[in-house]
């Protein structure tokens, strides 16, 4: 009888453990934090809903800091990882671009973030930012390349451009983009976030699969 009870208790707790949602932290700047949006309309809540509606059981933690650069992210990554997330989504670089920071500096900072996570066995999805053309074609080429290089070096998943969903919807028409942006012309509104999440979602599911793999 005692053996049967122990077996049942073991099964119960094993089932409970399996049923626990995966813990993923979204780490980044205002695009992660949800600048200018209602609390349920930012990237993190919308992506969490998308994942759960598409068969994943996850809880996304918002570790976005508005105005953060890759240097700021590198300085706080250890504190973020102290919560022991199973997965990390990294979206940084936009504020580096606004300041015209060199690609080599951003790459070194992002590399520190990725190596810190991977050294703890945390699976990572890196989201890229595409540089505008106003700093010249050489700067754009150098900056755009850092995300692919880092993903290859650290064996992380890569989503090339945080604004893919909006870009696909407007088909290259910058005027049409205003429909999906806030008044500042930089941050997506709730509809723009939804487009970006729909594009990002399938790659985020790959992150879930990596975490869940035996």
Which is the catalytic residue, given 29, 68, 161, 187?
187
State both tokens at 36: 């200018």
Torsion angles phi and psi, residue 58, rounded to 5: -135, 155
CA-based nearest residue to 88, from 20, 38, 154? 154
Is residue 39 part of the annotated active site? The answer reads: no
- Whole-angstrom distance, CA of residue 213 vs CA of residue 207: 10
Q: What are phi and psi of 91, to 5 degrees?
A: -135, 95
29, 30, 68, 161: the catalytic one is: 30
**Catalytic residue check, 173:** no
CA distances from 62 to 28, 143, 207 (A): 9, 26, 17
Gap between the terminal Cα atoms of the chain: 33
Tokens representing residue 9 in the block: 């208790």
CA neighbor of 21 nearest in space, from 81, 85, 114: 85
Selecting among 171, 173, 184, 212, the annotated active-site residue is 184
Catalytic site includes residue 184 = yes
Task: Kindly state the tokens that stand for 84.
Answer: 């022991």
Alpha-carbon distances, residue 23 vs 59, 96, 139, 201 (angstroms): 5, 28, 36, 16
- Give the span between the Cα atoms of 168 and 88, in whole angstroms: 25
Residues that are catalytic = 30, 184, 187
């Amino acid at each position: 009888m005692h053996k049967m009870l122990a077996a049942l208790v073991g099964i119960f707790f094993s089932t409970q453990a399996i049923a626990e949602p995966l813990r993923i932290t979204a780490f980044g700047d205002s695009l992660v934090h949800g600048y200018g949006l209602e609390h349920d309309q930012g990237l993190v809540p919308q992506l969490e809903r998308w994942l759960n509606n598409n068969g994943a059981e996850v809880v996304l933690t918002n570790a976005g800091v508005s105005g953060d650069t890759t240097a700021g992210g590198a300085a706080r990554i250890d504190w973020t990882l102290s919560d022991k997330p199973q997965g990390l989504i990294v979206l940084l670089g936009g504020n580096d671009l606004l300041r015209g920071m060199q690609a080599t500096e951003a790459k070194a900072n992002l590399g520190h973030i990725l190596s810190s996570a991977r050294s703890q066995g945390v699976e990572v999805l890196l989201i890229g930012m595409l540089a505008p053309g106003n700093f010249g074609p050489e700067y754009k080429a150098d900056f755009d390349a850092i995300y692919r290089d880092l993903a290859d070096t650290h064996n992380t998943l890569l989503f090339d451009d945080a604004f893919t969903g909006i870009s696909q919807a407007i088909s290259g028409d910058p005027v049409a983009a205003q429909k999906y942006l806030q008044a500042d012309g930089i941050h997506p509104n709730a509809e723009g976030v939804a487009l970006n999440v729909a594009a990002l979602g399938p790659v985020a599911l790959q992150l879930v699969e990596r975490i869940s793999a035996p």
